[in-house]
Amino acid sequence: MTDNREQNSVNQVEPIPVRYWWFKRIAVVAVMLVIVLGGLRWWWGAKAHEALQAEIDRIKVTGQPLFPEDFDQHPVPDDQNAALLLKKAVTVFNLTDEQTALIGNLRKNPKEISELSKEIQEIIEATAKARKLVRSARSLPAADWDFKNVGLSSPAFKFMLHQDLMRILQAAALYFHNQGKHTEAVETLRDILAYGKHLEPLRTLLATLLDIHASDLVSESVEEVVSTLRIADVTTTAKQSSSRAQIKALIKDLSDERALREGLVWSFYRERTFQFEAIHLATGKQGGLGILTIGSQPTPQGWGIGEYLLFKPAFELDGVRILQQATAMVEAAAAPNWPEARRRLPPPHGPPTLQGLKSASRILGRFIIPSFINTLETTYKPLARRRMAAVALAIRLYEMDHGKLPEKLDDLVPKYLPAVPADPFADDGRKIGYRPDIDKSVLYSVGPEDKKDPTKRKSVVFPLKSNLPKE
């Protein structure tokens, strides 16, 4: 009886439907797939991390700066620190909007200095204290700005005020020259060059651009005044004439490009550090660097933490490309001329229109790789004009002694010029060009290639005048 009940119970057990067996098989496959994908994700992450670390190690083994502390400098005593005086200088003048606009327009039309003599004189008087501080700063050996985290938008660094003060100094130099005060005009031009040089310890692209701006202001001013610049000789007693020692000192200042060239390289080091910080922030490795604040996380719109963690290795691999391109920019900035710099430039990064996996794999680069190629190219034109300004002053001294322009620039060496400077746009080592045999004599550089027609050049020309007046 009992056996019959047990048999009936067994007979009543319903068999498992076939579809449930398929669910079990699918679940097993899914688990195995997750394990495989997880393993692949782990392998991908390990390889990406290894590649990023290897790139960091390659940079550090060269001794180049990468971490924020690599930019720390030795403190400068206050009595030797030009930065303290320059910081104060931008706080002791306050121009009206009209005066600021006038100074800006004067750079475009320097010949208006005589027509605006009264207005310029008011500006000169209003900025006397600031100009005196800049003059005092010139004699100091170093500058410690005490800014560890300087960026383009840093409120601690008053970019526009420094730029305005440089332009005020240029207006002052032109005004003094127009008033016959040639000694003060030359000294003011030297103040501008020293101003730019003292900004370089900031080691940022912004500071270097200001230094280049200072160089351009002086070159423009030399072009404007050199033909009428009075230079005292042994028979001259006029107090307002420039001395030969002053002119040679200005030539020396113009010829000394070390601070500007080194500053350019260091500014690209700093930009690489900014990008390195962005990589750390995007990959969750902030590590207390804290040198860059990014307003929004550089991930595609709509991505959550899951997608972010999934594609973190892609960010790290993109970080490798970013560092490699930034290092190539550093090497290009150190090039002796523009053609060599162009050869060292990194290949252009993928455009923002990249689609699919390629777009996802380069998301960091699309957000944080800025285009510095144009910035780098624009540094060479002011460099060419700076060199030509030094040559023009040497030609002025030669003309004072010989009553004519030199037949060739080699005639200036070594009495008036240490050496004829190289053309920064030439790839064959040629020197700055000189044409004294035409109606309007010129110094010239071959210039960069025309972007519309690479077979043509856009020459950089520095006009000269023959028969310069001798006092």
Structure tokens at 126: 């209003």
Q: Check residues 440 and 76 and name the one with the higher pLDDT.
A: 76
What local confidence, expressed as pLDDT, does residue 26 receive? 81
What local confidence, expressed as pLDDT, does residue 177 receive? 94
Where does the pLDDT of residue 219 fall: very low under 50, low under 70, confident under 90, or very high at 90 and above? very high
Structure tokens at 20: 């449930």
Where does the pLDDT of residue 89 fall: very low under 50, low under 70, confident under 90, or very high at 90 and above? very high
Where does the pLDDT of residue 153 fall: very low under 50, low under 70, confident under 90, or very high at 90 and above? very low
Before 463, cis peptide (omega within 30)? no
How high is the mean pLDDT of the chain? 83
Where does the pLDDT of residue 376 fall: very low under 50, low under 70, confident under 90, or very high at 90 and above? confident
Tell me what percent of the residues of the chain surpass a pLDDT of 70.
78
**In contact, 230 and 242? CB cutoff 8 Å:** yes
- Across 49-160, the runs of DSSP E, i.e. the strands, are none
pLDDT at 461 over 80: yes
CA distance 198 to 410: 32
Please report where in the chains the tokens 């601690």 appear, as a residue.
Answer: 156
Where does the pLDDT of residue 17 fall: very low under 50, low under 70, confident under 90, or very high at 90 and above? low
CA distance 459 to 447: 4
What local confidence, expressed as pLDDT, does residue 349 receive? 46
Q: Check residues 318 and 246 and name the one with the higher pLDDT.
A: 246
pLDDT at 2 over 60: no
pLDDT at 354 over 80: no
169-192 in b/e form (b: 16+ CB < 10 A) is: bbbbbbbbbbbebbbbbbbbbbbb
Residues 6+ apart with CB under 8 A from 276: 56, 66, 67, 289, 323, 326
Mean pLDDT: which of 216-220, 325-329, 347-351 is highest? 216-220
CA distance 79 to 310: 55
What local confidence, expressed as pLDDT, does residue 286 receive? 43
> Reduced to 3 states, what is the DSSP secondary structure of residue 294?
coil
What local confidence, expressed as pLDDT, does residue 346 receive? 80
User: What would the mean pLDDT of 33-50 be, rounded to a whole number?
Assistant: 87
One-letter identity of residue 377: E
User: What would the mean pLDDT of 317-344 be, rounded to a whole number?
Assistant: 92
Please report where in the chains the tokens 């001294």 appear, as a residue.
Answer: 397
Structure tokens at 96: 């009206």
pLDDT at 108 over 60: yes
Q: Could you tell me the pTM of the whole model?
A: 0.85
